[in-house]
Structures are given as C-alpha cells and as structure tokens.
Chains A and B, each alone.
Chain A
Amino acid sequence: MAVLLLAEVNNGELALDATAKAVTAAKSLGDVTVLAAGGTAAAAGEAAAKIDGVAKVLVAEDASLGHRLAESTAALIVSLAGDYEHIVAPATTDAKNVMPRVAALLDVMVISDASGVVDANTFERPIYAGNAVQTVKSNDAKKVITFRTSTFDAAGEGGSASVETVSAADNPGLSEWVEDKVAESDRPELTSAGVVVSGGRGVGSEEDFKLIEALADKLNAAVGASRAAVDSGYAPNDWQVGQTGKVVAPELYIAVGISGAIQHLAGMKDSKIIVAINKDEEAPIFQVADFGLVADLFEAVPALTEKLG
C-alpha cells in the first residue's frame, strides 16, 4: 500500500508543521511518498526527506506549479496517481483548492478535513461545524483525503528519505497568478502556535485590537479573530478562527469579546485550556471556557498583560 502526500510548499519553502502532521495521519496507511511541487521546490523536498516516516520524496519544479494553481497541480498529481492507493494532504486552503479537483479527475469522492483514521478505508470527520462527528467508509479504489492538522501531532525529524525528480504534467494554461498579499509577522503561525489570543466584535476597532496583540506578544502567542472582527475590518482575513476559517487546538486559547457562536467554537473548542473574557455573563463562550472572567475587556486585558509580565 502506498500513499502520496502533497507537501505544503509556500514560495519554495516547506511548511513543516502542516506537512509533518499530515505524515503522522498518513503513516498507518502505508509507505509515504511526499510530493514537493512548486516553481521552486527542491529545498522543500530536502526538508521533507528528513521527516520521520517519509519513505521517498518526489520533487516537481516548474513555473506552472508556482503559487499552487489548482489546474496544473491537480494535473501533476493525477499523472502520478497510478502508483498510490491513498492521495493525501494537510487540510490547508491550498490543498482544499487542489484535492477535490484531483478526486473528480480520478472519479472518486474526496474526504475533506479528516480528523481520525480508523483503518485504510475508514475515516472520521467533523460535520455541521463540529457538532457531529461522522465515521465514513470509502468504497472507492483510491482515497483522496485532506487531514485536519489540529488533531494530529507533527512527526519528528531524523528521517533520510531518497529524493527523486519528476516532471510537471502539461500545463492546461487556464489560470495565472497575479499577486499575493501576505502579511509578514514575527508571531507564531496561528495553526501551530501553543497559545492563541483572539479578539471579537467586542474589541470595537482596529485600533483597539492592539490590546489583543499586546497580550499575544506577552505570551508569545498567535493572534486570532472572530468572523465579526474580520468582517468589521479590525483584523485581516487570515486571522479568522472557525468553521470557515482556521481550526486551531493550542494549549491555551484566550477569547476576548467573542460571544461564542457555534461557527466560532468549531475552530477552537479542541483547545486544551480555554479562557473567555466577556462582559456578558450569559455569553455562550463561557459554556466551553475552563476559566471565565466576566469583565470589561478594556480593563481586564491591559491588566492581564501587565500581570503576566
């Protein structure tokens, strides 16, 4: 049984955390071959070869594979698919763009956001914003799966897999990249951070989001936000936590001025310790919080930032 795993590669660099978590999920399915594809991908391939449990690495470098355009990336994966029973990836936005396309080209269903592996054909996945967990068994010859990274530990390093080069498939030439707007930040990445501090509509403005950021920096945390905070322009879209944003499960999640709608809970309720700061004692966020503080955030957050010093 062989598994092809699409590595998460951003601008030639391996996203190690997401890729290594997917390796953990995939290991029990068979020998794992990692595919590092991109405009440049050799360095990413070398990095992937060091992940424990990786048997082999394929590197595909071609201008058409840059920026993870779905059409060319899917064509490449399909050209390699013959040798593998499972084709998997971490459930990033890149993979969610590509993998359903791969599945349809192979005439199989995709299993999105799998949170558990029962056996080679059977997987668990959250549905209805995490309000139910479904176990599904695939009757397809090949399984195309994205794994929810927050539920798997990252595989360690120390491997030394062989690295081979493969060529890109014919570029269907359907789309071209224009630009990326990526915020540079020194903070830890949201989906791999040990601590996340998130702000909601209660924070009230982009200006006041600095309070959230200051607390985050004190804790060496990533910053998250509710949809309402993003929609209102207090925070950028890539900070959104929830059903339709990022799913996180840090050691500590601090929700400030967030009411706790199910769509938000879907993205953070597997966090180890949840703290909620909200002035409304009835806010549903308190139902999932380990420690709740009923207080005005404009007083509580600066005080907390100071006392944690």
Chain B
Amino acid sequence: MKVLVPVKRVIDYNVKVRVKADGSGVDLANVKMSMNPFDEIAVEEAIRLKEAGKADEIVVVSIGVKQAQETLRTALAMGADRAILVNAADDVHTDIEPLAVAKILAKVVEEEQPGLVLAGKQAIDNDMNATGQMLSALLGWSQGTFASELDIEGDKAVVTREVDGGLQTIKVSMPAIVTVDLRLNEPRYASLPNIMKAKKKPLDEKTAADYGVDVTPRLEIVSTTEPAARDAGIIVGSVDELVEKLKEAGAV
C-alpha cells in the first residue's frame, strides 16, 4: 500500500507571532519556518506503517511556495521515499486555502492511487482544521479525524479519535483519509546520514495549473489585528492574600 502524506510549511511553533503593521497578515519574512507539528506526526505514522510491513511507499506532498522544498526534504530525511512540490504561490505570505489544497491533493491522489492519506488535524498557522475532511469529501472516501490510535486491518482502518467527550473508536473502509492528533506518536528526528541521503531522493515539481486547479481564495482577508491585551496583574505574597483578593473580586 502506498501512503500519501501532505505536509505544510508553517511558522515554527516557538516563534513569537507578529501582526504586520498594515494589518494584511502575520509577518513571515525572515522568521523560522518548520514542518507543521501535526504533519511530523503523520510522516512518523507512515514510516511506522512501512516498518511494520503495512505500507510499501511513502509519498509526501506540499502545496505552496518553493521554499516548501525544505519541509519536503525534512520528511524525506525522516524516512519518506519520494516528494512532490506543487508550486502555487510566489510570496511567502500567500497561503492556499484548504479547499484549493484539497482539490490539488485530490488530483495527486488520482495519479498516485494511495491506499491511505495521513494528514495533520490542523495547521498551526491558520488553525482551520479542514483540509483532510475536505479531501475526503471530494474523493467520496471515508474519514477518521483527530486520530490518537490507528490500526490497519485488511481493507479497514480502526481509528481511535480524540473528541470532546473523551475517545471514540470507529472503523472506516479503505481507502481512507486519517487526520492525526498529538498523541498518536512521537516523531523521530532525522539523523545526519539520513539528511544527506534525503538530498538524493526524488522531488518532483509541479504547479497548481498542471492540475487545473484554481487557487483563487474564497475568503478575502479584510484585516488582521493583535488580540486585545490583558491588563497587568499583581503578584500576591501568600495563599491568604490570594483568597482575600479573590473574595474582593467576587470570584469565589
């Protein structure tokens, strides 16, 4: 079985986000970018399926600016076999909406015929939590979202999902889209020899036009602002003082 893993290049999760003065978005020039943390978990899961003999090839794909090559190389260094970069934007500030990403991914799926797509549950930049579900809709496939456990049993996947009430287990027909949550696994770091080897692994370049997908956004950004700041608080000296302050504030 072939596994397809879409990986997104996003601002590193440790970077302090700054809103651009003109309100057009978040400043991404000269900031550290990394693979979306959820996508590292998806790549790791694909590698584990391969190590367990349940997958034979891992293809990673990223849609965006040409710098997303670095993200794909990271996935190759972790253990993916092959990469596809779909150039869809020139400016690092341009991000492609989940609907357009899903449409491109649907075309990639048609070409590559994977048995499973493993995506992140959400990208930590726009926090849309949408792409996997949208891809699944476009393909008419089953979906297992927010997975914290995944077992492939023949032509079914058993997915344990993190939901508001706790955990839900469902069985979905393959081919399927599974989106991964934080506790599915702990992704490995790429070793230096594997980073070197990854440079020689195949990386195909395509454009959105090659797939005939219009990436014009459906949502127009009107403005981007800083959230309201909280007023500075105080440090209390003791538990007694804390109780007193809480009583004064009517909080207890």
Contact assessment for A303 and B218 in the assembled complex, using a CB-CB cutoff below 8 Å: no
User: Is B167 at the interface (CB under 8 A from chain A)?
Assistant: yes
Report if A139-B220 is in contact (Cβ < 8 Å); known contacts: A182-B165, A288-B230, A308-B252.
Answer: yes
Instruction: Give, as a whole number of angstroms, the nearest-CB distance from A72 to chain B.
Output: 11
- Judging by beta carbons under 8 Å apart, are A175 and B137 in contact? no
The answer, yes or no, to whether A160 is at the interface (CB within 8 Å) is no
Contact of A105 among B137, B173, B223 (CB under 8 A): B137
Q: Give every chain A residue within 8 A of B182 (Cβ-Cβ).
A: 227, 231, 244
Q: Indicate whether A175 sits within 8 Å of B142 (C-beta atoms), given known contacts A219-B252, A294-B235.
A: yes
Render B112-131 as a binary contact track against A, CB cut-off 8 A, 1 for contact. 00000000011011111111
* B127 A113 Cβ-Cβ under 8 A: yes
User: Any chain A CB within 8 A of the CB of B67?
Assistant: no
Could you say which of B145, B165, B221 contacts A10, with CB atoms under 8 Å apart? Answer: B165
Q: Is A1 interfacial (CB 8 A cutoff)?
A: no
Shortest distance from the beta carbon of A44 to any chain B beta carbon, whole Å = 15
Complex Cα gap A179–B132 (Å): 23
Q: State whether the Cβ of B222 lies closer than 8 Å to any Cβ in chain A.
A: yes
> Which residues of B sit under 8 angstroms from A307, Cβ to Cβ?
239-240, 243
Contact B127 A293 (CB under 8 A): no
The yes or no answer to A295 lying at the interface (CB within 8 A) is yes
Which residues, 123 to 154 on A, are CB-close (under 8 Å) to B?
126-140
Option from A74, A173, A281, A295 in Cβ contact (under 8 Å) with B239 = A295
Chain A residues with CB under 8 Å of B238's CB are 293
A176 at the interface (CB under 8 A from B): yes
Which A-chain residue is minimally distant from B142 (CB atoms)?
A: A174
* Interface status of A273 (Cβ within 8 A of chain B): yes
Total chain B interface residues with beta-carbon distance under 8 A: 80
Asked if A275 meets B246 with Cβ closer than 8 Å, knowing A110-B98, A112-B128, the reply is yes
**Residues of chain A lying within 8 A (CB to CB) of residue B226:** 131-133
Please determine whether A303 and B251 come into contact, CB atoms closer than 8 angstroms.
Answer: no
- Is A43 part of the binding interface, using a Cβ–Cβ cutoff of 8 Å? no
Q: How far is the CA of A290 from the CA of B17 in the complex (A)?
A: 23
- Let me know if B245 and A291 touch, CB within 8 A: yes
A164 CB–B CB distance under 8 Å: no
> Bound complex: CA of A131 vs CA of B127, how far in Å?
11
A55 at the interface (CB under 8 A from B): no
Q: How far is the CB of A90 from chain B (nearest CB, A)?
A: 10
Give the interface segment out of B44-52, B57-65, B68-76, B156-164. Answer: B156-164
A304 within 8 A of B: yes
- Give the shortest distance, in Å, between B137 (CB) and chain A (any CB): 4
In the complex, what residue of chain A is closest to B249 when comparing beta carbons? Answer: A273
Question: Please, how many angstroms separate the alpha-carbon atoms of A10 and B172 in the complex?
Answer: 21
Q: Could you tell me if B163 and A178 are in contact, using CB atoms closer than 8 angstroms?
A: no
Residue B207 CB within 8 A of the other chain? no
Hey, what's the 0/1 contact readout for A157-198 against B, CB within 8 Å counting as 1? Answer: 000000000000000111111111111000000010001000
Residues of A within 8 A of B126 (CB): 127-128
Flag if B102 contacts A70 (CB, 8 Å).
Answer: no
Which residue numbers of B lie inside 8 Å of A, CB to CB?
11, 13, 16-17, 19, 25-26, 97-99, 102, 121-122, 124-138, 140-146, 148, 158, 161-173, 181-183, 217-227, 230-231, 233-236, 238-240, 242-243, 245-246, 249, 251-252
Q: Which residues of A contact B (CB under 8 A)?
A: 10, 67, 69-71, 74, 92-94, 96-105, 107-113, 118, 122, 126-140, 172-183, 191, 195, 219, 227, 230-231, 236-238, 243-244, 246, 251-252, 262-263, 269, 272-275, 281, 286, 288-295, 300, 303-304, 307-308
A-B contacts, 18 listed (Cβ < 8 Å): A103-B99, A103-B130, A105-B137, A109-B97, A109-B218, A112-B129, A126-B227, A131-B19, A132-B227, A175-B144, A180-B168, A181-B169, A219-B252, A269-B227, A273-B249, A281-B235, A288-B233, A290-B249
- Beyond A230-B183, A237-B148, 20 additional contacts (C-beta under 8 Å) are A101-B133, A101-B136, A107-B99, A109-B98, A109-B99, A113-B127, A126-B127, A128-B26, A135-B221, A138-B220, A175-B144, A177-B169, A181-B167, A231-B183, A238-B162, A238-B166, A244-B181, A273-B249, A292-B233, A293-B238
